[in-house]
């Protein structure tokens, strides 16, 4: 007991000196230790706790990073994956048919075929159908339905306006609808004023918008040179090889020559064939009346898509073209009427065959 009291006294006396006393485990006696040792022990204990907290923090950070990476991968996949597209749509061919309507000061005979789509977004569907109808009516609108002042003067010379349009939907996928319209028309008289023209229409089924040739191809001197060399093989060197010839052709494609534009309506076009080739052409439609034998006013070439890589723009068309697969259904017009004057069987062709001047059509 005296020894215990001595030790306690010593401990009390040591307060403030940097020493501390601990009771020895299981003996009831106090043992002496330095404050530094206690501090070290406390630091070690705190270090162990900090390690535990740091480990949990690092684990949480790693887990967060993995979650972000996974979310990013999903986002990239979502952004990069192809849109679903339109698959279960139908295109029904229709015909606008008029034979001597008595509505004008001259006769009219029109057999105009056009497509009508169903099964896509309703708002876009209406716009697409209007577009396809208007393109079918192109020359009829110019010469017959919606004449400008100059054409109104020319209509005074009409005895009959006649138009026969055939529409061919050449390619249809979940993204794209591509077609051409072949038209034989005759302002004034269905014998001496017959012209043949062609135009294309390419519709993005997801946006409801149309792609023009200038949207997908850079129309410049290099492209015109490429096109002319191909066309010369098809049309007996009609487009020449001189620099002046190329500049004239470029002006036609760009429609930027005021002198030429006064007399002709230049319409460049393209369409996709059933084999995914690209047909590129230009129609040179006269704005004046001049008696002539039946004539073709359009010129086109057809080539593989690889041949056009040097001229491609960054248009979305090319991405959708690459991802396209056949989709939709084309239904032919059940009651297609022949044109009284310009049809394949009826009309003026026998007359021109007898004259020996008929061009192939």
* Tens of pLDDT, residues 115-148: 999 999 998 999 999 999 999 999 999 999 999 9
More confident residue, 303 or 70: 303
Residues 6+ apart with CB under 8 A from 243: none
* Tens of pLDDT, residues 204-234: 999 999 999 999 999 999 999 999 999 999 9
pLDDT of 30 higher than 50: no
Q: How far is CA 322 from the centre of its chain?
A: 11
Question: What's the pLDDT at 125?
Answer: 97
Cβ proximity of 349 and 170 under 8 Å: no
* Tens of pLDDT, residues 258-311: 999 999 999 999 999 999 999 999 999 999 999 999 999 999 999 999 999 999
Cβ proximity of 292 and 196 under 8 Å: no
Q: Compute the distance between CA of residue 258 and CA of residue 98 in angstroms, rounded to an integer.
A: 36
Question: What's the pLDDT at 5?
Answer: 45
Nearest CA-CA partner of 270 in 302, 239, 297:
302
First and final C-alpha spacing in the chain? 132
pLDDT band at residue 355, thresholds of 50, 70 and 90?
confident
pLDDT band at residue 54, thresholds of 50, 70 and 90?
low
What pTM did the predictor assign?
A: 0.77
pLDDT of 37 higher than 80: no
C-alpha dihedral sign at 4, 6, 12, 17: negative
Task: Tell me how far CA of residue 68 lies from CA of 19, 55, 63, 81, 112, in angstroms.
Answer: 54, 20, 9, 20, 58
Q: CA torsion 125→129→132→137, rounded to 10°?
A: -160
Q: Compute the distance between CA of residue 204 and CA of residue 198 in angstroms, rounded to an integer.
A: 21
**What is the gyration radius of the CA atoms in the chain, in angstroms?**
41
């Amino acid at each position: 007991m005296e020894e215990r009291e001595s030790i306690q006294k010593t401990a009390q006396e040591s307060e403030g000196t940097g020493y501390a006393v601990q009771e020895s485990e299981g003996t009831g006696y106090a043992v002496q230790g330095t404050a530094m040792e206690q501090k070290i022990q406390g630091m070690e204990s705190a270090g162990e706790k900090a390690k535990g907290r740091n480990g949990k923090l690092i684990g949480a950070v790693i887990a967060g990073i993995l979650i972000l990476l996974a979310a990013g991968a999903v986002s990239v996949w979502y952004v990069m994956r192809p849109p679903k597209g339109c698959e279960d749509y139908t295109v029904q061919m229709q015909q606008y048919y008029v034979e001597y309507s008595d509505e004008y000061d001259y006769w009219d005979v029109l057999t105009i075929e056009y497509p009508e789509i169903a099964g896509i977004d309703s708002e876009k569907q209406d716009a697409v159908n209007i577009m396809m109808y208007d393109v079918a009516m192109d020359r009829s609108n110019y010469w017959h339905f919606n004449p400008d002042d100059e054409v109104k003067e020319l209509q005074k010379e009409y005895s009959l306006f006649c138009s026969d349009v055939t529409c061919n939907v050449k390619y249809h996928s979940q993204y794209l609808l591509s077609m051409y319209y072949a038209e034989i028309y005759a302002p004034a008289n269905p014998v001496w004023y017959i012209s043949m023209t062609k135009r294309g229409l390419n519709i993005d089924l997801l946006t409801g918008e149309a792609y023009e040739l200038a949207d997908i191809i850079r129309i410049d001197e290099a492209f015109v040179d490429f096109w002319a060399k191909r066309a010369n093989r098809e049309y007996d060197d009609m487009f020449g090889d001189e620099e002046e010839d190329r500049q004239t052709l470029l002006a036609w494609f760009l429609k930027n020559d005021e002198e030429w534009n006064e007399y002709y309506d230049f319409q460049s076009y393209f369409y996709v064939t059933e084999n995914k080739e690209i047909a590129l052409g230009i129609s040179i439609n006269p704005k004046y009346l001049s008696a002539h034998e039946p004539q073709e006013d359009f010129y086109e070439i057809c080539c593989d898509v690889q041949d056009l890589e040097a001229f491609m723009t960054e248009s979305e068309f090319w991405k959708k073209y690459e991802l396209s697969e056949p989709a939709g259904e084309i239904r032919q017009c059940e009651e297609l009427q022949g044109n009284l004057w310009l049809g394949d069987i009826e009309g003026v062709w026998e007359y021109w065959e007898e004259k020996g001047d008929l061009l192939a059509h």
